[in-house]
Amino acid sequence: MTCATHPATDQTASLAATIRTAADLCVKCGLCLPHCPTYGISADEAESPRGRIALMQALAENALPAAGRLEFHLDRCLSCRSCERVCPSKVEYGHLLEAGRALAAAKHPRPAHQRLPKLIASGAFVRAAPVLRFYQRSGLQYLLRRSGALKKMGLQRLDSLLPPLSRRLQLKDYYPPVGLQRGNIGLFTGCMGTALEQDALHAAIALLNRLGYGVHIPPQQTCCGAMHLQSGDADGAAALAERNIAAFNALSLDALTYCASGCGAALEEYARWFEHAENNAPTFRTAPLDLCSLLARIEWPENVKLRPLRARVLVHEPCSLRNVLRAAEAPYQLLRRIPELSIEALPGNARCCGGAGATLIQQSDLADALRADKIAALKTAINANGEAKTLLVTSNLGCALQLSAGIRAEGIDVEVIHPVTLLWRQLTN
Ligand code: SF4
Ligand code: SF4
């Protein structure tokens, strides 16, 4: 098995070399510090990009052990890459962090740390969805919450993140276009999409079909691997990437797209995951493109129209869309197609909401603090808006789960949806 970032032979030396090369570009100017959410909360240099780069350099030089403080500070990095976006020296922080986490994991393996990504990628959550749905609907959830048992079992946080579940979406391999065929599009669904992102997937298929595209959903596809990489499991991430590449390369496609920008950021960086592969690095034949960007680029036939909507929509910009895919403008472009809709950015979009992969569950203090800022911004925006109906759109599943949980906890009357779901709702027959 080839490591995602480095050949299996002499893996730690190769990772250390990657860290040294990338970190050497950092001149320690500190311009990234005000943009780092974890530094903003802690005011601790070790919780800043510059501090983490210094820690990774020390790890590469064998000057610090991986276990303990070093792991702690790397774990708490949100991978939001706000630092990368503002760095004048063009330090590839995301790449550096992946190598740092993989090296730390190689020097100090933590099987328990990798359990969550493996569990999710195995499809366990999707298989458990009917049971969880029963738990929600039978009154068991209500009873366990009231009794305090969830807290005692340490399941309170997981329970709070669980949105009301619908029946699992059973997807076909192919959805033909409506009318004349203009092309074929591959749709990546992710490991949890069929359980947690059903509306967005359904909307994506229906809209693409109406625009004249056949939609292929190869059942061989699997988890994107982002959470594996976040936990330092580069080999696990590479294995999933290879499977996804093979699944979509078996099809003849005009475009490859995805609903969740967090997964998409991983798909779009697969080429880099394999840049040190010894030979024949696997690569997508059709480059992935986020769904909003794709729909904004496609020419819409005259007969596909959207109904006006008198509402206000606040746009949350996921870090994956802003800082990795650099496509934050796409949802705005797309939503402008809906007549009468008032579109605004959610204040504070430059800062992560805390819905960053495993952080959502494993770093709950950090996730809660970051979410509190978003909820406060949302409340202020709603109060300033008076009676008008407000919607919050986000194109990343992790952010949607995180924001929805905060909204439910506060009892705010705001629906969180994917921008494409909103478009599909406004589609005329
Ligand atoms: S990462 Fe970039 S912005 Fe941050 S300290 Fe290093 S050179 Fe400066
Ligand atoms: S990725 Fe985000 S949390 Fe991590 S160091 Fe950079 S700005 Fe801070």
Question: How does DSSP assign 306-326, residue by residue?
Answer: B-----EEEEP--HIIIIIS-
Q: Phi/psi of residue 5, each to 5°?
A: -110, -15
Mean pLDDT per 10-residue segment, the chain (429 residues)? 49 92 97 97 97 98 94 95 97 96 92 74 74 78 78 75 76 95 96 86 96 97 92 90 97 97 96 79 94 95 94 96 97 97 95 84 87 93 77 95 93 94 93
pLDDT of residue 194: 81
- The rounded Å distance from CA 411 to ligand 1 centre is 40
pLDDT of residue 392: 97
Residues in the chain: 429
pLDDT of residue 353: 95
- The rounded Å distance from CA 40 to ligand 2 centre is 10
Q: Cα separation of 353 and 202, whole Å?
A: 26
Which residue is associated with the tokens 């601790």? 44
Any ligand 2 atom below 6 A from CB of 96: no
Q: Whose CA is nearest to atom 8 of ligand 2?
A: 36
Any ligand 2 atom below 6 A from CB of 184: no
pLDDT of residue 386: 67
Closest CA to 311 of 341, 354, 270: 341
Q: How far is CA 231 from CA 18, 68, 235, in A?
A: 18, 15, 11
Q: Whose CA is nearest to atom 5 of ligand 2?
A: 49
| Tokens at 97, concatenated | 């962090």
Q: How far is CA 181 from CA 173, 211, 214, 253, 288, in A?
A: 17, 9, 7, 13, 21
- State which ligand 2 atom lies nearest to the alpha carbon of 82: 7
Which residue is associated with the tokens 């090296």? 103
| DSSP one-letter code for 163 | P
Q: Cα separation of 136 and 143, whole Å?
A: 10
- The rounded Å distance from CA 252 to ligand 2 centre is 38
81, 86, 229, 351, best to mutate for ligand 2 pocket (most atoms within 8 Å of CB): 81
pTM assigned to the model:
0.90
Any ligand 1 atom below 6 A from CB of 403: no
Which distant-in-sequence residues (6+ apart) come within 8 Å of 85 by Cβ? Answer: 35, 322, 323
- State which ligand 2 atom lies nearest to the alpha carbon of 49: 5
Q: Phi/psi of residue 190, each to 5°?
A: 75, 175
- State which ligand 2 atom lies nearest to the alpha carbon of 38: 3
Q: Cα separation of 161 and 158, whole Å?
A: 5
